[in-house]
Amino acid sequence: MVSGSGTNLQAVLDAVREGRIDVEIAAVGADKPCTGLERAREAGVETFLVRPGDHPDRTRWNRALQEAVAAREPDRIVFAGFMRIVDAEFVEAFAGRIVNTHPSLLPSFPGAHAVRDALAHGVKVTGVTVHEVVADVDAGPILAQAAVPVEEGDTEAQLHERIKAAERELLVRTLGAAARQGALHDAR
Ligand code: GRF
């Protein structure tokens, strides 16, 4: 699932294509048209779009998204820069099978502005967390983390780029481990 530029998705697509991880991407879904969806199409992967604006309320959008995901019968669902919060029923439907990547060392700096918040706090080290999704936002068992130093004078964009480089590698590594181990929590 993606919402933006999809560079994390691209890293997974590349790893699959090059046979570095034993994963098959059933489909890529999004909440809005985005570069991530284009990357999937270019790689010949099926895509789907479930927009909140096309549904009368948040609950019905959640159910539509849930149906679209369930129809692909995934073993795992990866939120790779998917910038929407799904409800508890969605999480329950795929319990233990959803992975999220977040650009901070959780539990520090949850939420949509993790990089900005870390900079504002003046931390010297931040990073990335790949974790299992539970009903609470940016909570859930941590599967893997990587630290990224904050450099003097870093802008949010510069720091986020360095975090994303670490993030792509960590996500691919964690998905590869999960594929080998079977259960997500065994990828820790
Ligand atoms: C990633 O840092 C993700 O953790 C954050 O947004 C970024 C998405 O990047 N929530 P991309 O779309 O994979 O390039």
Is 102 one of the catalytic residues? yes
| 59 CA distance to ligand 1 middle (Å) | 25
Q: Is residue 66 in contact with ligand 1, taking CB distance under 6 Å?
A: no
**Domains of the chain and CATH, by start:** 7-187 (3.40.50.170)
Q: Where is pLDDT greater, at 187 or 73? A: 73
- Ligand 1 in reach of 8 Cβ (< 6 A): yes
Percentage of the chain modeled with pLDDT above 70: 98
Please list the alpha-helical segments (H only) found in the chain: 7-17, 35-42, 58-71, 88-93, 114-121, 156-181
Half-sphere exposure of 126 (CA within 13 A, CB side): 28
Q: Which long-range contacts (CB under 8 A, 24 or more apart) does 151-159 make?
A: 154/119, 156/115, 156/116, 156/119, 159/115, 159/118, 159/119, 159/126
Cα(185) to centroid of ligand 1, in Å? 22
- Which atom of ligand 1 lies at the shortest distance from residue 103's CA? 4
Quick one: which atom of ligand 1 is closest to the CA of 4? 12
Interval 45-69: pLDDT, tens: 999 999 999 999 999 999 999 999 9
Altogether, the residues listed in the chain come to a count of 188
pLDDT > 90? residue 165: yes
Cβ contacts of 48-54, under 8 Å, gap ≥ 24: 52/84
The pLDDT value recorded for residue 169 is 98
Dist CA 165 CA 185 (whole Å): 24
pTM of the model: 0.95
- CB hemisphere CA count around 68 (13 angstroms): 18
Q: How far apart are the C-alpha atoms of 156 and 153, rounded to whole Å?
A: 10
| Rounded (5°) CA angle 1-132-179 | 75
The pLDDT of residue 172 is 98
Q: Evaluate: CB of 4 within 6 angstroms of ligand 1.
A: yes
- AA letter at 174: T
